[in-house]
Chains A and B, each alone.
Chain A
Amino acid sequence: MSVHVMNRFSAVTVVAVLYATAACGAEPNELEPGAGRDSVMANCVMCHSVDYIAMHASFMKRADWRKTVDKMVSVMGAPIDQDDIPVIVDYLTKHYSVE
């Protein structure tokens, strides 16, 4: 439940610590250099650290990455421009897949 919703419906008081790469300096953000890296950093890091990407590299193929990015958009609500999707999938396939 978001804090925003909680405040509307209940008397819960919270301190929300919203973690930031910049603020804590410990989050891994090493991604292979290459075309499309900026799109990944701009679109994916909002919701999760990049180690999610490396964790899948040993078995993902292009189709798997495509499916994953589509899920992030359609299910998780990631605000990724349609034009960015192929760029991201290309980058992930080139640097973090078995293809």
Chain B
Amino acid sequence: MPNRRTFLKVLVSGFTMTGPDLLTPRFLHAGELPSGAAESTVREALSGKGPLIKRTFRPPNFETPVEVFKDVVTPNRRFFVRWHLANIPRLVAENWRLKVGGDSVAHPFELSLNQLKREFAPVELMAVCQCAGHRRRFSEPHVPGVQWGNGAVGNARWKGVRLKDVLARAGLRPDALEVVFDGADYGAIDRTPDFVKSLPLWKALDENTLIAYQMNGEDLPHWNGFPVRLVVPGWAGTYWTKQLIAIRAMPKPEKGFWMNTAYRIPAGKFPVTDRFLSQKGEADTAITEILVNSLITNIEEGQHCPLGRPVMVKGVAWDGGHGIRSVEVSVDGGKAWQEAKLEPHQGRFSFRAWHYTFTPSRTGKQVLMAKATDGRGSTQPFELIFNPAGYYNNVVQGITVEVA
């Protein structure tokens, strides 16, 4: 089999090439690391990105260092990167087209980027994108997959158009059951299942589900899906198709590997309420919404805290769109809990910042914990609900500090 990767292929003539953007991370100098960062993992940068923690090089999977989440909005340059397939074409905005069709559509059509921006009402919202495998490395027992730590998540202000408006133009037929999404990425060999995802019709038609062309006021970075990606607030990142080029409304369930086999959770094990009935199997079902979660962002494992001096614990909390009702903090390993102060609301799909101040009154080790509760009363567990793919890790985090 010829090694297709050794060629820089120019597949279609008539484009302007701005230079091959090869995947060449550069090692960062210590001076480029944020102050106070004691990250043991080597950080690298992809083209157009700031320092990220490399998990894998090709396909690129890079996570955000936790201190970046001190800001409630995750900068584009520090937003995590997750791809399944090695061939990620560099798309040219002027030539990008979105095909809208499928068996449950009366009038298939194509859109250019200018048409998408001009012919549909723009919408902006804050939303968390979280990989289903966020925190997989903490699974006990360990499970195969990208060994994400606490940084396979990010929060951004997305701008785009409502998917439902685009589908309305295509004329949805009454038999539409799922909406299927395909990006421009593809495998190194033809037999590798293409990364194709679907949503149930009700979620596709949700007013918050967007075809997004901006992130934090700028074009999407290449590594985050330039020029256009799907934004599915409240749901796992796997549905947020990057480099979106085709949408199909279909009367039957999508049966490809990435729906039928991957991204599935044991049925009935998790406190999820969003239903994806057309993808439900006997023992498992497609993953849906993000479960309530939180992260302490300004304190590291083993950090020293002076006795008798106030310590402000800061963090973020998020969930699948019910909104954060409360965050509680424990400074004694979970015996006693106090309410943290929530920062102003940024929308129910966004990170919610919080803080809590305490004054250490005895020397020795102290375990800090944060536990968020969402608007439906669902809270974080103390024990992992084990599943073979390592999804849905929203276990309460414990950080040990040293008081001296």
Spell out A's residues near B (CB within 8 Å). Answer: 1-3, 5-7, 9-28, 46-49, 51-52, 55-56, 58-60, 64, 68, 75-79
B30 is an interface residue with CB less than 8 A from chain A: no
Spell out B's residues near A (CB within 8 Å). Answer: 1, 3-12, 14-15, 17, 20-25, 54-59, 86-92, 95-97, 99, 110, 141-142, 144, 146-147, 182-194, 196, 245-246, 257, 261
Q: Is the CB of B22 within 8 A of A10?
A: no
The 10 closest A-B CB pairs, nearest first, are A77-B191, A13-B95, A59-B142, A2-B186, A49-B57, A14-B89, A16-B89, A49-B58, A24-B22, A26-B24
- Give the CA-CA distance A58 to B147 in the complex, in Å: 11
> A19 — which chain B residues lie within 8 A by C-beta?
5, 22-23, 58, 86
Chain B's closest residue to A50 (CB) is: B57
Chain B's closest residue to A67 (CB) is: B144
> A9 — which chain B residues lie within 8 A by C-beta?
99
Interface secondary structure of B, over-half rule: loop
Q: Is the CB of B186 within 8 A of A47?
A: no
Q: How many whole Å from B210's CB to the nearest CB in chain A? A: 21
- Give the CA-CA distance A15 to B262 in the complex, in Å: 29
Q: Is the CB of B8 within 8 A of A23?
A: yes
> B191 — which chain A residues lie within 8 A by C-beta?
76-77, 79
- Give the CA-CA distance A25 to B115 in the complex, in Å: 40
Interface secondary structure of A, over-half rule: loop
Q: Is the CB of A55 within 8 A of B189?
A: no
- Give the CA-CA distance A24 to B5 in the complex, in Å: 11
Q: Is the CB of B99 within 8 A of A27?
A: no
Quick one: given A14-B12, A24-B23, are A55 and B55 in contact (CB under 8 Å)?
yes
Q: How many whole Å from A27's CB to the nearest CB in chain B? A: 5
- Give the CA-CA distance A36 to B234 in the complex, in Å: 45
> B24 — which chain A residues lie within 8 A by C-beta?
24-26
- Give the CA-CA distance A1 to B187 in the complex, in Å: 9
Q: Is the CB of A75 within 8 A of B25?
A: no
Q: How many whole Å from A99's CB to the nearest CB in chain B? A: 14
Q: Is the CB of A12 within 8 A of B184?
A: yes
- Give the CA-CA distance A86 to B355 in the complex, in Å: 54
Contact of A27 among B8, B58, B89, B261 (CB under 8 A): B58
Chain B's closest residue to A27 (CB) is: B57
> B15 — which chain A residues lie within 8 A by C-beta?
13, 15
> B257 — which chain A residues lie within 8 A by C-beta?
75
Q: Is the CB of A49 within 8 A of B12?
A: no
- Give the CA-CA distance A15 to B59 in the complex, in Å: 17
Quick one: given A7-B11, A15-B90, A48-B59, are A27 and B23 in contact (CB under 8 Å)?
yes
Q: Is the CB of B261 within 8 A of A76?
A: no
> A22 — which chain B residues lie within 8 A by C-beta?
6
- Give the CA-CA distance A68 to B90 in the complex, in Å: 30
Q: Is the CB of A3 within 8 A of B58?
A: no
- Give the CA-CA distance A13 to B95 in the complex, in Å: 5
Quick one: given A10-B97, A76-B192, are A16 and B87 in contact (CB under 8 Å)?
yes
Chain B's closest residue to A77 (CB) is: B191
> A60 — which chain B residues lie within 8 A by C-beta?
144
> B89 — which chain A residues lie within 8 A by C-beta?
3, 14-17
Q: How many whole Å from A31's CB to the nearest CB in chain B? A: 13
Q: Is the CB of B57 within 8 A of A17?
A: no
> A25 — which chain B residues lie within 8 A by C-beta?
24
Q: Is the CB of B144 within 8 A of A17?
A: no
Q: Which of B4, B15, B144, B190 has the most CB of A within 10 A?
A: B144
Quick one: given A14-B95, A18-B4, are A77 and B142 in contact (CB under 8 Å)?
no
A-B contact pairs, 15 of them (CB 8 A): A1-B185, A2-B87, A2-B190, A2-B194, A10-B245, A15-B92, A17-B8, A17-B89, A18-B4, A18-B9, A23-B6, A26-B25, A47-B189, A60-B144, A76-B187
> B246 — which chain A residues lie within 8 A by C-beta?
1, 10
- Give the CA-CA distance A70 to B10 in the complex, in Å: 34
> B58 — which chain A residues lie within 8 A by C-beta?
19, 27, 48-49
